[in-house]
């Protein structure tokens, strides 16, 4: 398993601004993922962020809106750019240490006004 | 392509009675299947997983699930519900080829005293 922390845990932001979410893991992992959970909805994969390569985005998500950094094997950031109220969601990171099970962080609860 | 259908959006049980959460999956490959639980304002916690070993899988907190290939089902059960089981439950499938997860819509469990 893995212990994952996210910062901030929650935030309230104004439309048009950007927020960077941090994800820290207690061990080195190659595979890291970012998800969005809109209010009352299930989880949707935003992108896969493997160290040493560019992030791979899912259909409907673009790098200009959700830039991701993966500087090392224990850390990643997701930026939500030029926010609108529709970006209000929970953003979660996950890791897959052994290529068989994903473990999730506690999430960042974002409200955009 | 892979997908998951959770047949019940909401399940309500009395404390001490059995819980059944139904899940059907579709996958082109030999799937890995998971159940995750999300308590209010918390991240996702892995309950159990199936990865082509025993078809009856035991998880944490008294939960278990049975993989039935002929029925493409992976239903989650618990013999006796506890108040702390009130949460959102997600059935998840992975085809193991790209490690991506596909989430069901979720089942909200409420437990009556």
| Chain B interface disruption, residue of A4, A29, A43, most B CBs within 10 A | A43
Cβ(B45)–Cβ(B38) below 8 Å: yes
Cβ(A78)–Cβ(A66) below 8 Å: yes
How would residue B2 be classed by pLDDT, with cut points 50, 70 and 90?
confident
Helix (H) or strand (E) holding B94: strand B87-94
Positions of chain A with pLDDT under 70: none
Q: So what's the pLDDT on residue B12?
A: 97
Q: So what's the pLDDT on residue B27?
A: 81
Q: So what's the pLDDT on residue B43?
A: 87
Given the DSSP bridges, would you call strands A31-37 and B23-26 parallel, antiparallel or unpaired? unpaired
- Average pLDDT (B51-70) is 91
- The secondary structure of A6-65 as a DSSP string is EE-SEEEE-TT--EEEEEEESS--SEEEEEEE-TT--EEEEEE--TTS--EEPTT--TTT
- Mean pLDDT rounded to a whole number for chain B: 92
Q: So what's the pLDDT on residue B54?
A: 83
Q: Work out how many CB contacts closer than 8 A connect A with B.
A: 44
Q: So what's the pLDDT on residue A34?
A: 97
pLDDT winner (highest mean) among A94-98, B51-55, B83-87: B83-87
- Average pLDDT (B57-73) is 94
| Chain B interface disruption, residue of A5, A97, A102, most B CBs within 10 A | A102
Q: Do B103 and A31 touch (CB under 8 A)?
A: no
- Average pLDDT (B60-83) is 95
User: Nearest-CA neighbor of A111 among A93, A91, A96, A92?
Assistant: A91
Q: Could you read off the pLDDT of B20-36 as tens digits, one per residue?
A: 999 999 987 778 999 99
- Is B51's Cβ below 8 Å from some Cβ in A? yes
Of A4, A102, A107, the CB nearest to B101: A102
Instruction: Report the residue of chain A nearest B97, measured CA to CA.
Output: A99
Contacting residues of B for A104, CB less than 8 Å apart? 36, 43-45
How would residue B85 be classed by pLDDT, with cut points 50, 70 and 90?
very high
Distance CA B93, CA B81 (A): 25
- Is A42's Cβ below 8 Å from some Cβ in B? yes
pLDDT of B61 above 90:
yes
Q: Do B101 and A31 touch (CB under 8 A)?
A: no
How would residue B87 be classed by pLDDT, with cut points 50, 70 and 90?
very high
Rg (CA), chain A: 13
Minimum distance, in Å, between the CA of residue B94 and any CA atom of chain A: 9
Helix (H) or strand (E) holding B74: strand B73-78
Of B46, B96, B104, the CB nearest to A103: B46
- Average pLDDT (B10-19) is 97
Of B46, B99, B106, the CB nearest to A31: B99
Between the alpha carbon of residue B100 and those of residues A56, B52, B112, the distances in Å are: 12, 17, 36
Using a pLDDT cut of 90, give the percent of chain B over it. 74
Between the alpha carbon of residue B57 and those of residues A3, B66, B84, the distances in Å are: 24, 6, 21
Given the DSSP bridges, would you call strands B107-112 and B10-14 parallel, antiparallel or unpaired? parallel
**First-to-final CA distance of chain A:** 36
How would residue B75 be classed by pLDDT, with cut points 50, 70 and 90?
very high
């Amino acid at each position: 398993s893995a212990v994952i922390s996210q910062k901030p845990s929650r935030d309230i932001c104004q439309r048009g601004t950007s927020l960077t979410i941090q994800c820290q893991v207690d061990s080195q992992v190659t595979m890291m993922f970012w998800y969005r959970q809109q209010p009352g909805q299930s989880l949707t994969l935003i992108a896969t962020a493997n160290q040493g390569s560019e992030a791979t985005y899912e259909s409907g998500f673009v790098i200009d809106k959700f830039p991701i950094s993966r500087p090392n094997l224990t850390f990643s950031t997701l930026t939500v750019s030029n926010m609108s109220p529709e970006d209000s969601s929970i953003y979660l990171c996950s890791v897959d240490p052994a290529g068989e099970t994903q473990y999730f962080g506690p999430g960042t609860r974002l409200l955009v006004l | 392509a892979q997908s998951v259908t959770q047949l019940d959006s909401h399940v309500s049980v009395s404390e001490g009675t059995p819980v059944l959460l139904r899940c059907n999956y579709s996958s082109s490959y030999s799937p890995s299947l998971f159940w995750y639980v999300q308590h209010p304002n918390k991240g996702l916690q892995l309950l159990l997983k199936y990865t082509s070993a025993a078809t009856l899988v035991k998880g944490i907190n008294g939960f278990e699930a049975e993989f039935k290939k002929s029925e493409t089902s992976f239903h989650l059960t618990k013999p006796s519900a506890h108040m702390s089981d009130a949460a959102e439950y997600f059935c998840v499938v992975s085809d193991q080829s790209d490690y991506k997860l596909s989430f069901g819509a979720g089942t909200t469990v409420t437990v009556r005293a």
